Amino acid sequence: MQAKLIDGGEAIALSTPDGTARFHAIWLRDNAPDADTRDPGNGQRLIALRDVPADTKVEEVALDGEVLHVTFAPEGKTVGFQTRWLMEHSYDRDDVAARGWTGEAVETWDSRLMTAIPLADFNQVSQDREALARWLGGVTRYGFGKLTGGPVEEGALLKVADLFGYVRETNYGKFFEVRTEVNPTNLAYTGLGLQAHTDNPYRDPVPTVQILYCLENSATGGENMVVDGFACAERLRAENPRGFDLLSQYCAKFEYAGSDGVCLRSRRPMIELAPDGELIGVRFNNRSAAAITDVPYDDMADYYAAYRRLGEIIDDPAMEVTFKLSPGESFIVDNTRVLHARKGYSGSGSRWLQGCYADMDGVRSTHAALVQELGMAAE
């Protein structure tokens, strides 16, 4: 291992068996792990950037085993960094990822996932923390997971939310009934088939998790389907890069005003990218799409062609995973990514599901904390 000052102490260059990387003096100082910079108990930063001199430089570096001692001027402060931590947090790269990239923690899928659905037994994940960690890991990776063997009782879906976080209450209540209603306030409460969609795109922020829990399902039809919106967006990008750009650069509009006292509206793209091009969200819902007014006239025809094509990809059976829930079974989707659908149902028998919303930050947090606690290899 080797470390040296570069650019007159504005930065350092570190060479380790894992690679080499440069780090700016100001970045190192801001991320110093010492007890005066970060609270040893909760890990929170005790200083603001204003407390760090703007002309901070590195005066000296010295390697001591796995620790790199860095002395900062003008403070004259010396701080030890674990070299492994530094390399794990390296930002010294010059490859620019394509628009629509996804991180290593995301794996996109199509109908072939059918044989490898993240699946677990409700009682097992309720009692076995390692089983829960594995299942939550699958949910973060695929944006989807299924549970079997749960209690067949009203409100049992709240116990699914309890596994990783908190229910997000909305105007539909803490949870809602999905079964055929007379004069429904939402088409979900009918026997109609529903095109694959993400829920509540008219909400800002959208609920990032949906749980659907089956209590009765003896009607003919009524299968559930899930589709990976990220895989669909990637396919659109491969086929029609301009269409992908149009759906990600311009905002669509969504609206729901189907019950008294509710008028929810949002303005967001159907394919959402972070400023650096990372694919972070898909919103797709024909029932609540409002008039799109933020696409320039000259681009609207192409925008609609891309919108149509994205819908065709979403409808392609090669993209979908289909299953019929039995009483006591449930599934969970990352509602910013995975679309869900229902086939029409009718005839004798009954279909009764309950649904609720929650959030992916709880899924990710619980998973990360369990991985750390149990010393499991991060997936």
In the complex, the residues that contact Fe ion under the rule CB under 5 A are: 199
**In terms of CB distance, is 37 or 195 closer to Fe ion?**
195
**In terms of CB distance, is 83 or 266 closer to Fe ion?**
266
Q: Locate 293 and state its tokens.
A: 């007014």
Q: Locate 360 and state its tokens.
A: 């992916």
Q: Locate 55 and state its tokens.
A: 């002309």
CB of 349 to Fe ion, least distance (A): 21
Beta strands per DSSP E along 229-313: 252-256, 264-268, 271-273, 279-282
DSSP, res 191: S
Cα–Cα distance list, 366 to 15, 249, 359, 375 (Å): 35, 33, 11, 14
Q: What residue number has its CB nearest to Fe ion?
A: 199
CB of 72 to Fe ion, least distance (A): 53
**In terms of CB distance, is 133 or 333 closer to Fe ion?**
333
Q: Residue 85 and residue 273: Cα distance in Å, rounded?
A: 28
Nearest to 279 by CA among 320, 247, 318, 319: 247
CB of 345 to Fe ion, least distance (A): 15
- The answer to whether the beta carbons of residues 144 and 333 sit under 8 Å apart is yes
CB of 328 to Fe ion, least distance (A): 21
**In terms of CB distance, is 126 or 210 closer to Fe ion?**
210
Q: Locate 73 and state its tokens.
A: 């001027």
| 368 three-state secondary structure | helix
CB of 356 to Fe ion, least distance (A): 12
Q: Residue 161 and residue 140: Cα distance in Å, rounded?
A: 15
**In terms of CB distance, is 159 or 287 closer to Fe ion?**
287
Nearest to 49 by CA among 71, 17, 27, 74: 27
Question: Is 153 exposed, middle or buried, given 0-12, 13-18 or 19+ CB atoms closer than 10 A?
Answer: exposed
**In terms of CB distance, is 199 or 234 closer to Fe ion?**
199
Q: Residue 111 and residue 210: Cα distance in Å, rounded?
A: 20
User: Using alpha carbons only, how large is the chain's radius of gyration in Å?
Assistant: 25
**In terms of CB distance, is 15 or 286 closer to Fe ion?**
286
CB of 342 to Fe ion, least distance (A): 8
**In terms of CB distance, is 23 or 176 closer to Fe ion?**
176
CB of 353 to Fe ion, least distance (A): 10
CB of 340 to Fe ion, least distance (A): 6
CB of 315 to Fe ion, least distance (A): 16
**In terms of CB distance, is 243 or 355 closer to Fe ion?**
355
Q: Residue 340 and residue 326: Cα distance in Å, rounded?
A: 17
Question: Is 91 exposed, middle or buried, given 0-12, 13-18 or 19+ CB atoms closer than 10 A?
Answer: exposed
